[in-house]
Structure 1
């Protein structure tokens, strides 16, 4: 019998997020990100399952225990467990601000793109990223950065 050759892990198909109320949490994700149910909601399952645009599933799993979705890195910064890839980060950022979603300061990470951190109603910390230099023209990148970072010519 031969061993595994190459990378055996293709993709992340599901992410599990601890929440207090799956239905309310699902409604929050729908309102703020436009996610749809992957399967019909069933209260007996103690979770809501939503689908990201590329097909991955976001399981909002009811818990009565402590919600501890973050961890400190070596420097003491509370890390998020995952980063969502997005398009039109400026539109999403404006939308979340308008909806009073708790968000942290925008960061321009040069070749890694533009990121910001947001929190769900249960305090779970997430990151979003758009590699603007890859997906947009240099003129569009300048407009996005001017909009998000209030750059003045």
Structure 2
């Protein structure tokens, strides 16, 4: 195989109400709306295209691990612990359902938050080195 996958371009997230969810993602997460109709919205968020897709009630992107724990399917990154703590406070003040900041035994810290439909997302205090080199510290 000479070609390789280069990046994740789009993530699909099930939502019950495209209009309300679009407003929530734009207002609370700073997403930029690219397109919207009654069945989907296309957002730009965290250097990725996010599709909010109208789905049946109770459908989420979450899954259960072998121990029965409900898990998130996506982790966002911020630049350092102070940025993580600041975002955690901001989300809490906005009324977003957030978990505690956790030490999971690896570098950095994390917390989980939920959208309107109960889709779980993780936030990690460590940016990947390649992202730092390409976007933050490239002279």
Task: Say whether the fold is shared (TM-score over 0.5).
Answer: yes
Q: Which of 40, 44, 49 is the aligned partner of 1:51?
A: 44
Q: Which of 85, 94, 97 is the aligned partner of 2:89?
A: 94
- The Cα offsets for residues 11-45 of structure 1, whole Å up to 9 and x where unpaired, read as 110000000111110111111111111x23233xx
* Residue 24 of structure 2 is aligned to residue 28 of structure 1: yes
**Structure 1 alignment gaps of length 5 or more:** 135-153
Give, in angstroms, the shift of residue 98 of structure 1: 0.3
User: Separation in 2 of the partners of 1:36 and 1:65?
Assistant: 25
Aligned-residue RMSD, C-alpha: 1.9
The two structures have a TM-score, normalised by structure 2, of: 0.80
User: Separation in 2 of the partners of 1:112 and 1:13?
Assistant: 26
Which moved further from structure 2: 70-79 or 108-117? 108-117
Q: Kindly indicate which of the two structures has a greater share of residues assigned to helix.
A: 1
* Residue 73 of structure 2 is aligned to residue 81 of structure 1: yes
User: Separation in 1 of the partners of 2:120 and 2:49?
Assistant: 18
**Structure 2 alignment gaps of length 5 or more:** 130-139
